[in-house]
Chains A and B, each alone.
Chain A
């Protein structure tokens, strides 16, 4: 397989820069038992975690690639052409001054320290395989909130990690959850104690820097009874002509009446395979919300899931995906109603432009014991240009007659009349298209903290430049 591919480099992708590589440790290329042992040894992990990794590696090797989704792009993946572990620095920084200058500069350019000062309660910054900076507000520490990178979580709260790690997404769930379990590094470990409401968001930022890098962060969030938390993650990577791989596993556990909102704004460069497994369990009267924004990447396959396990639990998945030239966003949602009086809402919006491909793939399942479930699914696709493509696969398995199910799907094109109207008021065709697209995703943007909404609209404007006609 050729390592160099001719890419459509997004000319306006402003995060495509990279730093020179100057690392404490870089594993050999490719995946082997040896590499897995090295990762575990680097982290000085307990033996049970190493054994879990090795079992997962075996599962990864046994499992076939998914037989669905974009077979062409999946077929082009080369697992031997990836670096599975890079440790950029010796010790995690507690202040930005402790972070090496070039890495600090990168996060400055990404606006992280500034955002932290302005509106975040805690920040984790992961660079390659490891979290290089971490901090949390003192008052949250005092309330017993745990917000650590996953490696520190394992060291400092081993029993809790042992109990919950892989309890929502076991290694054998799918090929990529197995891969993540084998080579995971970094990610967040969060525990919110009973009744504690973290009102200001916690944020993690994931940055890939090296060429042919594989990033496999692992995140576990446990919100105890009656607590609430809003977690935001952002992701970027340099633009390279060879492929990178991002394959995270995120597990959320919302105990009775807890609330978890998990917001993602990923803006990968176009050489990144983004194959992520995200799943939540919501117990009685708990609420879980996935707010999932997908820009960039070569291929994204991601279907945030919610298992509504307790009576009265509520789940929402609100997602947008924008697919441009050479990109395929295969995204969607999955909700399983396993208890009475549970409710769910899925709103998915996809935009395909310049020959890009957007796919909605969803499953809503109502189990026989889940009486009076309420399901609402809405998928809207916006297509710009004749070569662009949109597909919808909304599966429903309703096994209880009392369920109330609403499903609506629309596919629309940017209408000539809308463009003409906006242009007749002085907006250029690009500006008019951007405005229509931003309007289309307004139900999503509305749910973001203001700073992120502004940033997202700006990103969309950059994406739309020159994309019309």
Chain B
């Protein structure tokens, strides 16, 4: 099975603080892998680093995506190759409408043609699927959005951009049950042999919903354990503290 993502010996720091240490992970194409771990274990840093956030310093290692070394690429270059992060805390851009943004980014990633033919209909269909009113399109990007609206906005972009590698960073945080159901169904429907997912979460509930192929546990910037769904269950039963103790013992 071909690997869409290979992270090799990655060491990352921000403000001289090491967040990821000699971190390696490979993910085969078409699978969904979960990344679990406590707050501060390095999960979100990893998602930012994979997307090319300029604030982080990579002191060692490299990232291979779809056979291409993307370690030194800018975020927009990576996006055009098919990487996507549904952010936990997406930035607001006042004055720029969702409609303008979607059109611009679909054009940037898929080219002019995609925004010419049937673009409006395609957006409409996705809004309906996500239970979003059409007035959403004239609002400003994440400006004054509720937690649920921000998550919907992220998933809407996911549906529109059809990336090859999707990183879902705490997509469940702050959502009510109904919204969570709508979003998880939409994401599950995106599963495809050509599309790979990384699911970042601290809750077992998400593991139940998405049934990932593998589960990885991060601890203090290192990959502490890798296993299947039963390991996620074990983690849920024991809690992080006892789990870490058991694996380091």
- Which chain A residues have a beta carbon within 8 Å of chain B's beta carbons? 415-418, 420-429, 431-432, 435-436, 438-443
Contact = CB atoms under 8 A, between A and B. Distances in A.
Interface in B33-84: 48, 51-55, 74-76, 78-80, 83-84
B94 interface: yes
B94 A417 contact: no
B165 to A, nearest CB: 12
Nearest to A418: B91
B108 interface: yes
A421 B76 contact: no
A426 B93 contact: no
A425 B108 contact: yes
Interface of B: 48, 51-55, 74-76, 78-80, 83-85, 87, 90-96, 100-101, 104-105, 108-109, 140-141, 157, 161
18 contacts: A416-B54, A420-B53, A420-B91, A422-B101, A424-B76, A425-B76, A425-B109, A426-B161, A428-B74, A428-B76, A431-B104, A435-B101, A435-B104, A438-B96, A439-B96, A439-B141, A442-B94, A442-B140
A435 B80 contact: no
Given A421-B93, A438-B96, 16 more contacts: A415-B91, A417-B91, A418-B91, A420-B91, A421-B87, A422-B101, A422-B105, A423-B79, A424-B85, A425-B105, A425-B161, A426-B76, A427-B104, A431-B76, A436-B96, A442-B140
Contacts of A435: 93, 96, 100-101, 104
* Secondary structure class of chain A's binding surface, majority of residues: helix
A436 B51 contact: no
Contacts of A418: 91-93
* Secondary structure class of chain B's binding surface, majority of residues: mixed
Contacts of A421: 87, 90-91, 93
A429 B93 contact: no
Contact of A426 (B54, B80, B141): B80
B158 to A, nearest CB: 11
A415 B84 CA distance: 20
A251 B156 CA distance: 51
Given A435-B101, A436-B96, A440-B95, A426 B90 contact: no
Contacts of A417: 91
A442 B95 contact: yes
A439 B78 CA distance: 24
B94 to A, nearest CB: 6
Nearest to A441: B95
User: A415, A423, A425, A440: which has the most chain B beta carbons within 10 Å?
Assistant: A425
